[in-house]
Structure 1
């Protein structure tokens, strides 16, 4: 859950957590003769890859930038049962340069990644299956939206492009994209030379989420935590007078709540997520702005909350064309944080609501299986090699993290940082160490 800001992540490149530059690819800048010759060679090689279609070719920072589609099986175990085209982009620097393979975990984002800049690398950015334009025609078989199927998609892309780029390949991604990259490494460990995953949640045991409650009992200062809990509680105590403000905002934005079942259920769901979102996207510097819950008016509480974590979950957001595919994955394999909300128990109307199936249409709902998450967790901890995980100290998603093996793998926590943790936000000593490791893995001095 908590993906009203995961969609906020999703909307900004998952969302700008590891992006250094938005990097608009379209540019009319003329090319020199040498660039044209090299570009033609790369294009010709791309055109020879079976199942690959060049959608467009532009320029990004003076280098060729391709939008591509690769034909993929809907079911890699039964490839004869239909196919779809998966969208991805290629920012070409040089055939001899390293390749950064980026997964955002949602729709396509081609923003320049932190390690792409560090290595002056080529960058391949992949849209997740069943998001955006990477969707089969007709009725979607949601049972094929699995971590194994997406890993196989990425394996096909890497295998195809290694015909052109024989140098080192490093995988990267943030949040759900970091998870996606970790799954790829688990199932196809020979594809990539190393992985750098940012703020990648690891809900290895979906039945035991005590670590999240412990996080909210210790993050920030006691004064800030108490003030946030008081605002969250007061939003439910005064639901009869504040909910109409929520309804007015929803009407103004054309939002509906058929999947959640009622406006009251939608309102409660949004309030439950409020403190999580505060810490995911904000910081301790926002604590002085928290209003006095008892003294603030309904309007003051509502307006402050809208700007500090109260996100409205609607049918459009959680539908098949929005972030519904993420909620389906969470309900099926990824898991979710099931918080206790002890300070809200007596003011909740809908104790069953806080889980991803609540946000899904009936044909997308499913049962959870925890086997896959446990398997990946064990593999990363025991067998993973050349894996780096970067987390944020004040990020709720970073509370339950991967613990990499001792096989040339590393874990870093950026101090006083939220879901936007980066290598550049580590302490100077750790930053130097991490950057040196990434360069070593890439074979770059």
Structure 2
């Protein structure tokens, strides 16, 4: 008898899901400018679709052409909140965000314009339309279109550059979402952020910082040992160096080393000691920063990212003062930049927007939750707490760029976050 009851309940549940999927697909067919196809459903959802959404190249002048922006919809229920994930790069696969699981919400994961497949055709491709005003207008259109289906509470979230997008999205469209949760999101105010230098000069212990510096010096002093080995590594890995020479890439990797060490959660006890020799120093440095990022594939793969950093989002550079006489391919002054602007485009940074956002946040960023790791290099330029607004800031102790997440919060931190979300969303979170 019990078996029959369970079988009947299972059948009813299956029919309910089938009916909801059919209802969802009917609703998707009615949305303007949306092409969709079914895909494998992630655990915890009832249906999932890859979307291609028609977007104007220029939202102010739609007659200039259009492209299709890739996104992914994961559906839980029409009565659930909806989380729009504001990616900063390409999104080749559907990714499940912690916030979506926490609130048991639907999720729309949106690839950033000019990344991945979300790129205009060659005849209308123009970097002037890769700016935050246009990128957030893409998100606004998606929000307005999908509100026809999801009429409850909306949240936005993103990680790293995607978290930056979350902040800018709320700045341009403050009414689109009820809550914004950017993870490890810097707000850089300069082309060469001085706060990064301050962080690298003060983070951790003096002994750890000195150990990193000794590795850098050891590698640079032994470039005749390092470069032939890197040449063979590059050949085996299929890396090409035409935008930068191999020697330039080598020196960039050396300068990048402490930034990457702290961003990626390096352990001070793993740093080779001063007497461990050139082989140990080179191996640890290359496993931490490496030359792959500075090869041709890195230059082209991150071209749109570099354009945004160099034009309006700001970034960082590399101090050279401590390497006098050790750099041969890169200049001592001006400081080498971590921005590699696409070929033929100058760095014409305009900091008006980022500084306007920095001034807007202290008075207007209600219902924000800023989550950072205090050991992450990017925490140097994270949004700082201010009084007078209904928002939360977390600088998670000892956590880096990849670990500053909800799953790694202390119980009291998670409870504080959940309490705020329940109040703002007017719902209970289990």
CA contact (8 A) 2:164 2:182 kept: yes
Higher RCO (C-alpha 8 Å, min separation 6): 1
Q: Deviations over 1:65-112 (max 9, x none)?
A: 010011000111111000000000110000110011112211115322
Look up the match of 2:226. Answer: 242
Look up the match of 1:228. Answer: 212
CA contact (8 A) 1:243 1:264 kept: yes
Equivalents in 1 of 2:198, 2:71: separation in Å? 39
Equivalents in 2 of 1:81, 1:165: separation in Å? 30
Look up the match of 1:252. Answer: 236
| Greater displacement, 336-345 / 90-99 | 336-345
Q: 1:346 aligns with which of 305, 325, 329?
A: 325
Equivalents in 2 of 1:423, 1:354: separation in Å? 35
CA contact (8 A) 2:318 2:338 kept: no
Q: Judging changes above 3 Å, is the alpha-carbon distance between structure 1 residues 356 and 277 closer, same or farther for their aligned structure 2 residues?
A: closer
Gaps of 5+ in 1: 1-30
The higher radius of gyration belongs to 2
Look up the match of 2:7. Answer: none
Equivalents in 1 of 2:335, 2:305: separation in Å? 17
Gaps of 5+ in 2: 1-12
Q: 1:41 aligns with which of 13, 23, 26?
A: 23
Q: 1:397 aligns with which of 378, 395, 403?
A: 378
Q: 1:272 aligns with which of 255, 260, 263?
A: 255
Q: 2:184 aligns with which of 171, 175, 199?
A: 199
TM-score, with structure 1 as normaliser? 0.87
Q: Give the alignment of 1:286-435 within 5 angstroms.
A: 286-293=267-274, 295-312=275-292, 313-319=294-300, 322-349=301-328, 350-351=330-331, 352=334, 354-357=336-339, 359-403=340-384, 406-420=388-402, 421-435=404-418
CA contact (8 A) 1:168 1:443 kept: no
Q: 1:176 aligns with which of 133, 149, 161?
A: 161
Q: Deviations over 1:335-366 (max 9, x none)?
A: 11234243223322312573255x34424444
Equivalents in 1 of 2:384, 2:342: separation in Å? 35
Does residue 137 of structure 2 align to residue 160 of structure 1?
no
CA contact (8 A) 2:385 2:393 kept: yes
1:125 Cα deviation from its structure 2 partner: 0.3
Equivalents in 1 of 2:118, 2:186: separation in Å? 24
1:368 Cα deviation from its structure 2 partner: 1.1
CA contact (8 A) 1:116 1:123 kept: yes
Equivalents in 2 of 1:159, 1:143: separation in Å? 25
Look up the match of 1:104. Answer: 87
1:333 Cα deviation from its structure 2 partner: 0.9
Secondary structure of residue in 1 paired with 2:35: strand
CA contact (8 A) 1:96 1:165 kept: yes
Equivalents in 2 of 1:97, 1:345: separation in Å? 59
| Greater displacement, 366-375 / 144-153 | 366-375
CA contact (8 A) 2:255 2:318 kept: no
Secondary structure of residue in 1 paired with 2:36: strand
Aligned length: 407
CA contact (8 A) 1:387 1:410 kept: yes
Look up the match of 1:263. Answer: 246
CA contact (8 A) 2:250 2:291 kept: no
Q: Judging changes above 3 Å, is the alpha-carbon distance between structure 1 residues 364 and 206 closer, same or farther for their aligned structure 2 residues?
A: closer
Q: Deviations over 1:137-177 (max 9, x none)?
A: 11421111101110000000010001100111010011100
Equivalents in 2 of 1:346, 1:291: separation in Å? 23
1:123 Cα deviation from its structure 2 partner: 0.8
Q: CA RMSD in A?
A: 1.8
Equivalents in 1 of 2:347, 2:380: separation in Å? 26
CA contact (8 A) 2:82 2:155 kept: yes
1:299 Cα deviation from its structure 2 partner: 2.7
Secondary structure of residue in 2 paired with 1:66: strand
1:206 Cα deviation from its structure 2 partner: 3.6
Equivalents in 2 of 1:418, 1:59: separation in Å? 31
